[in-house]
Homo-oligomer: A and B are copies of this chain.
Amino acid sequence: MEVIVPFSTDRPKSRLSDVLSPEERREFARTMLDDVLDAVDAAGGDPRILATDAVDVDSPVTVDDRPLTEAVNAALDARLGADSERDGSPDPVAVVMADLALVTPAAVDRLFAAGRDADVAMAPGRGGGTNAFVASHPEFRVDYHGASYLDHREIAAEVGADFAAVDSHRLGTDVDEPADLAEVLIHGEGRAAAWLREAGFALDADEGRVAVARE
C-alpha cells in the first residue's frame, strides 16, 4: 500500500521549543520520520514523503510547499479520484504523520487491515487530531484544522464512505509537546527514543503521570 508521510522541514516541532533548541528539534523530527519510514517498510507499505522542501532520505520525496490540507488533498486527488483516470474502486492509500515515534510494524499492520475493510479507516490522535488513515473512497478529502478527527468522520459520512476507527495508543501518540516525550521514552523502540536518551532525557516519576527531566 502506498503510504504518504507528510513532513515539514520548516521550524518543525515548535511546541517543543521549551526543551529543545531549533537544531535539536530538526534532528529529533528527523529521527521520528526515520522511525515511521522503518515501520511502514516493515509492514510492507510503500512510503512516499510529502515534504515542504527537499529532504535527504532513501524513500521517494514529493515537494509541495502548500499547507498540509491542500498538499494532502492534492495527493488524494491524484490517487483516489478527480485527477485519477482509474475505473472502479481506487486502490487504498494511507497518510501517516511523521511524528508518530511510538509506531511499530504491528500498529501499521492494524491500520492497513482496517483500511482494507472500510472505505476510510482512521487512527485518532490525542486531542482530536488525525494521526493516520487509509482511504479508498474516491471522494474522501481531508481538513486538518481544529478537531480534525471529528471533521473527518463527518466528511466520510457526507460522501457515503464506511468509517472505521483504529484504536491504537501507538498511532494515537503524535509527539508535539514535552509530555509526549515521556511516551517516547516509555514505549519507543527506535531512533527517536535513543536520540532523546542521548540528549539527556530520562523519565521522572515524581508527578502523577510520569514526565521527563533533562540532565
- CA distance in complex: A129, B203 (Å): 13
Excluding A107-B167, A126-B169, A128-B203, 11 further A-B contacts by CB distance (< 8 Å) are: A127-B182, A127-B210, A127-B211, A128-B205, A128-B209, A147-B210, A168-B168, A169-B169, A169-B171, A169-B172, A176-B208
Inter-subunit contact B209/A149 (CB<8 Å) = no
Does A146 sit at the interface, judged by CB under 8 A? yes
Contacts of A187 in B (CB 8 A): 124
Inter-subunit contact A124/B169 (CB<8 Å) = yes
Does A137 sit at the interface, judged by CB under 8 A? no
Q: Could you pull out 10 A-B pairs where Cβ atoms are within 8 angstroms? A: A104-B167, A123-B169, A124-B169, A124-B187, A127-B179, A129-B210, A147-B203, A147-B205, A150-B186, A150-B203
> Whose C-beta in chain B lies nearest to the C-beta of A102?
B167
Q: How far is the CB of A122 from chain B (nearest CB, A)?
A: 12
Does A106 sit at the interface, judged by CB under 8 A? yes
Complex interface residues of chain A between 161 and 189 (CB less than 8 A to chain B):
167-172, 176-177, 179, 182-183, 186-187
Contacts of A110 in B (CB 8 A): 167
